[in-house]
Amino acid sequence: MNRPYHQHNPVTQSLLTPEEPGPWEELNSESPSPLLFLCDHASNRIPKKLAHLGLELSVFGKHVAYDIGCEKLTRLLSSRFDASALLAHYSRLVIDLNRHPGDGSSIPEVSDNIEIPGNHALTPARMREREASLFWPYHNRIEQILGRICGRGQTPILCSIHSFTPVFRGFQRPWHIGVLWDRDQRLSTPLLESLRSSTPFCIGDNEPYHARNPVGYTMDVHGEKNGYPHVLLEIRQDLIGHDEGVAEWATIIHTQLKRVLAQVTIP
């Protein structure tokens, strides 16, 4: 059941200046499709007030700042499916939209051994400022879109797009794409079966991360707790770090997910 989300402990001052983009970008808002794509880590942008968080600019080209390749991939998928999509406009280093507020990884002081000076010793007021300016507007907008889909008499279907590094702590990750799920297997099981039976790729079942890890926010809150079918896809970053790869994987995902959606009965 859809319910409004609220900005807790509201602050009066916004982190963003009037000249900066808002916290999210919505694509294809007039789409009649029940499918909604979400990209929590689309951007490496930092609000001007935070002065690059005290980091060298080179850091913002790394995976710690955003999910490489996912913005372009999500745009293509939105177009191919004629579906709505919501993309975050600011870096996960400011506040991670896929972590519960207050979690230690929500505003990281260290990410993949990189110190984030601008995130050290933040006061509760500064944390709330980031939540109020970026976190709650993004998640409130997701709920508004879900409400719009429900208002047409449809059951929303959520697909969250992420990417992962080819090597982590010295381990060469073999998977090309991972399908993440927790309790709801309506999409994940047939999608895993389809990918494994009709593609030559190494397919991860809850790899390289496990969706049952409770730190994930977006699919847990908007999918699991609302009872909507959902799936989180993780694509390896070297495969979508260039335009040709993005186009290739948009075609693969479109083909596979379209097949699954045609087979699955969703009331």
Number of domains making up the chain: 1
- The secondary structure of the chain, three-state, reads CCCCCCCCCCCCCCCCCCCCCCCEEEECCCCCCCEEEEECCCCCCCCHHHHHHHCCHHHHHCCCCCCCCHHHHHHHHHHHHCCEEEEECCCCCCCCCCECCCCCCCCCCEECCEECHHHCCCCHHHHHHHHHHHHHHHHHHHHHHHHHHHHCCCCCEEEEEEEECCEECCEECCCCEEEECCCCCCCHHHHHHHHHHHCCCCEEECCCCCCCCCCECHHHHHHHCCCCCEEEEEEEHHHHCCHHHHHHHHHHHHHHHHHHHHHCCCC
106 in a structural domain: yes
163 in a structural domain: yes
14 in a structural domain: no
State the pTM of this model: 0.94
247: tokens are 């186009």
8 in a structural domain: no
**Residue-wise pLDDT tens digits, 129-158:** 999 999 999 999 999 999 999 999 999 999
pLDDT at residue 131, as a whole number:
97
Q: What is the CATH number of the domain that holds 165?
A: 3.40.630.40
pLDDT at residue 2, as a whole number:
45
93 in a structural domain: yes
1 in a structural domain: no
- Determine which of 3-7, 144-148, 255-259 has the lowest per-residue pLDDT on average: 3-7
* Full domain range(s) for residue 45: 24-263
19 in a structural domain: no
pLDDT at residue 3, as a whole number:
47
